[in-house]
Structure 1
């Protein structure tokens, strides 16, 4: 069986039109209200189907249907808030940028754009639908760039300190994954205790042999939950500050005990590591690494802030 092509996940699909004299189709319903916008059940169903396909292609077992629906809807709500911010800020994606990104996606799948379009058609999608998905993702990146990355600075003193502390092992990289048990902004002591207890319970499940990726999909509150918690490869300098003292001491495949941050409690898994061959990185590389680490530190907190300031009515379990 041919592998399915990879496309970015994004908010997709309008409600399909009903044809006259067709069979009776159940009415669609609202599953979430996000400020002045609504997310429909049909949109959620389409997104869940996409996520299932992505999980299957990565050999990750999908959690129960209801659990997956909650995880996917939570991500859709955050995306909707970010898209509203893009609209309010009059951000846009021009055709040149969009076309270049589409060609890049096709090339990453080993195809020309025409071949990519043909494959999508065979899988029941159109190039126009995927273009809209990608356009929305690019808008979200612009919002994150404007609201988070553009406000991050790196000083010469920070670069000097980093190079001094890293010494000859500054080019080490780690492949990480995480499960985040989030706490709300300004949590009560009871909310913190509940989150910590849940994190400890998940840690014990992992120690007893639970599958990390499946547990991340079903339980993590992080933005990478639907990827099995995978954070990808990160240079040592880009590791979030709260992880910096823990990750180097983990062995391959080991999971940390819960790590407290303003966002909640993190269970971090070291999938693999590389580098550490004694070569020292340049000042420019150090600056880029520190910049990205600071962006990573800020992004989760910023996401919590925009969620807290938005009006969200999650109706998934109300009907």
Structure 2
């Protein structure tokens, strides 16, 4: 019997899952088949790799030596296959949150000219699951305030920060605070608010920001299910909202906030499914696109240029000449 990549994956799955039954679920294989393959592999190695019990498995002394090597073999083998597959990928399926501007698709397609790019708008939690299940190749997802609340470890996902967006104040254009320098807690307490529905991805960011800025959660005149809906309430009802700059529309005023919270925008992909070189190309393209888009947002681009320490991921693009983008959605 030869030790093959599939055997290394099997041992890695058992070690990671902690039991043969859990590994069978993870690998979508019957438990008897997993047990049979493991026994044959252990005969090849001349001893047991795991001690089995009703509570799960633990490595034997032989397993303590061999399991890390098999796990590394599985990781390296999958990375090699991903590198090969990435060179032959015909379609790249990309998910984005809230809305997917055509210019984003064009930017990704331009950096990968041999690949057909398909984009769709998805909910952040659905995007994570879709990438983990292979329904999407990658997604642009805002991180929760506490990164641990999305248990990436349970999904075979890798992430990279695209940019850290500040959370600013959106106001009607004729509001007395519009166009002001960064506002503080006293000014925020004087405002009437539109807030985000509990099921919306921005709700937890908003809640954490209010807890730090105001030491309390302000009442709202209405709860919305998206940034563009929030901006319509700001414009038509004369209320205030928290938003990331890319969530605002041009018919409202953005005002910086002192000690503003930030929201990380992540690029998420299934571990081992995309080559490092492709991920690097995508990150560079998306970061460049973000800066081009930021130039279209009144006041935001000048703020980014004036505060490069807050935008270190996109810092190389802050002095690049602008690209012409279509008007946002």
TM over 0.5, yes or no?
no
Greater relative CO (CA pairs within 8 A, separation 6+): 1
Between structure 1 and structure 2, the one with the greater Rg is 2
Higher strand share: 2
Higher helix share: 1
